[in-house]
């Protein structure tokens, strides 16, 4: 149980999943919770708030919610809260949790940056389901590059990689190219088995399937691109190289000339074992590049600073 100084809660609310941590004043982990995505740009307010409530409630299991000293939610799509209808749905959720403090919503970029460094200034590059680069000053996001969502941007993200994988498969089907490597794995993921019909008929089936699902579902094809690149597939290599170029450009666009602050890489696409991450790191080799821990750790530390001051210990995973 938490002591007399209570506890804090940090939440990473992304497009695919929501993760929450309850942390004691000494940085010790008191509870964890997980649920579905809570980005209000890609989920309805009802689904997003339900997932947030589920994750936070699970993290506080066995703890007195009223003794929560601070709660910081790092949220992809936080700008959506400027919509009064969406904001009202979230306010109802915060009230229903019974926390002993207001909930402070920050961008996922701010939480991610804080998860990797105590430096107050720098750049964070996020490439998960979506993508964005942000300039951080005094732990606050002051400007961004990208982050326009799946319809207008998200270059280099898992969504973008998945869309490019489907497009490459369509090009193979309609261009009379062999259906192997990346294109074969895309069709297997899409249909569970090799679909019947001529290549043109299969292409039409793939287009119909992609348009029938939520656009964000294209992100599920992203791991196939990395796997195919590692097997030497040239189409996959072209996709990962282009993704890295776009992400490096995004990161540099968020920085001032000559800036020597750290660059924090965040998200599944930028995990160190992947080809996109490898090429991004090469493109930023002259800078101090750090890999991020989970965003909920950064959000929990920001909450701890809110509650206990600048000397608050960083949460231990």
Identify the structural domains of the chain with CATH numbers, from first to last.
7-118+294-308 (3.30.420.40)
List, for residues 267-298, the tens digit of each pLDDT value.
Answer: 889 976 789 999 999 999 999 999 876 789 99
With 0-12 / 13-18 / 19 or more C-beta atoms within 10 angstroms meaning exposed / middle / buried, residue 197 is: exposed
pTM: 0.79
Determine the Cα–Cα distance for residues 253 and 257; give it in Å rounded to an integer. 9
Task: Give whole-number Cα distances, 80 to 90, 105, 151, 175, 282, in Å.
Answer: 11, 11, 15, 41, 34
E strand or H helix at 8, and its extent? strand 7-13
Task: Please determine, for residue 125, whether its predicted confidence score (pLDDT) is greater than 90.
Answer: yes
Contact at 8 Å (CB) between 161 and 193? no
Q: Which residues contact 229 (CB under 8 A, 6 or more apart)?
A: 236, 237, 239, 240, 275
Determine the Cα–Cα distance for residues 114 and 125; give it in Å rounded to an integer. 13
Q: What is the DSSP letter of 16?
A: S
Percent of the chain with pLDDT over 90: 73
Task: Give whole-number Cα distances, 120 to 110, 115, 217, 274, in Å.
Answer: 10, 12, 35, 28
Average pLDDT, the chain: 92
Tokens of 262: 């750290």
User: b or e along 152-176 (b: 16 or more beta carbons within 10 Å of the residue's beta carbon)?
Assistant: ebbbbbbbbbbbbbbbbbbebbeee
Contact at 8 Å (CB) between 78 and 103? no
Q: What is the pLDDT of residue 2?
A: 54
Q: Which residue's structure tokens are 């509650």?
A: 307
Task: Please determine, for residue 241, whether its predicted confidence score (pLDDT) is greater than 80.
Answer: yes
The model's confidence at residue 1, banded by pLDDT at 50, 70 and 90, is: very low
Determine the Cα–Cα distance for residues 292 and 296; give it in Å rounded to an integer. 11
The model's confidence at residue 91, banded by pLDDT at 50, 70 and 90, is: very high
HSE-up of residue 173 (Cα within 13 Å, Cβ side): 25
Residue 127: closest CA among 312, 303, 315, 277: 277
Task: Please determine, for residue 97, whether its predicted confidence score (pLDDT) is greater than 60.
Answer: yes
């Amino acid at each position: 149980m938490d002591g007399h100084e209570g506890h804090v809660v940090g939440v990473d609310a992304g497009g695919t999943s929501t993760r929450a941590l309850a942390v004691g004043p000494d940085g010790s982990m008191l509870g964890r919770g997980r649920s579905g995505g809570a980005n209000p740009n890609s989920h309805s307010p009802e689904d997003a708030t339900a997932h947030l409530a589920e994750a936070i409630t699970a993290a506080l299991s066995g703890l007195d919610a009223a003794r929560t000293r601070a709660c910081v939610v790092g949220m992809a799509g936080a700008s959506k809260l400027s919509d009064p209808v969406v904001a009202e749905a979230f306010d109802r959720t915060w009230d229903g949790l019974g926390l002993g403090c207001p909930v402070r919503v920050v961008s996922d970029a701010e939480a991610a940056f804080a998860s990797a460094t105590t430096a107050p200034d720098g750049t964070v590059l996020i490439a998960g389901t979506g993508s964005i680069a942000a300039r951080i000053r005094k732990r606050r996001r002051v400007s961004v590059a990208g982050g326009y969502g799946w319809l207008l941007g998200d270059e280099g993200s898992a969504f973008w990689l998945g869309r490019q994988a489907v497009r490459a498969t369509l090009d193979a089907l309609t261009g009379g190219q062999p259906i192997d490597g990346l294109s074969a794995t895309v069709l297997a993921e899409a249909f569970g088995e090799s679909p019947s019909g001529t290549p043109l008929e299969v292409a039409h089936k793939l287009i119909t399937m992609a348009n029938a699902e939520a656009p964000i579902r294209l992100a599920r094809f992203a791991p196939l691109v990395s796997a195919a690149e590692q097997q030497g597939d040239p189409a996959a290599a072209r996709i990962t190289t282009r993704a890295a170029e776009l992400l490096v450009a995004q990161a540099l666009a968020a920085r001032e000339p000559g800036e020597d602050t750290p660059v924090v890489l965040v998200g599944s696409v930028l995990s160190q074992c992947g080809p996109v991450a490898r090429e991004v790191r090469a493109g930023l080799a002259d800078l101090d590049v750090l890999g991020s821990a989970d965003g909920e750790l950064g959000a929990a530390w920001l909450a701890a600073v809110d509650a206990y001051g600048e000397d608050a210990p960083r949460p231990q995973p």
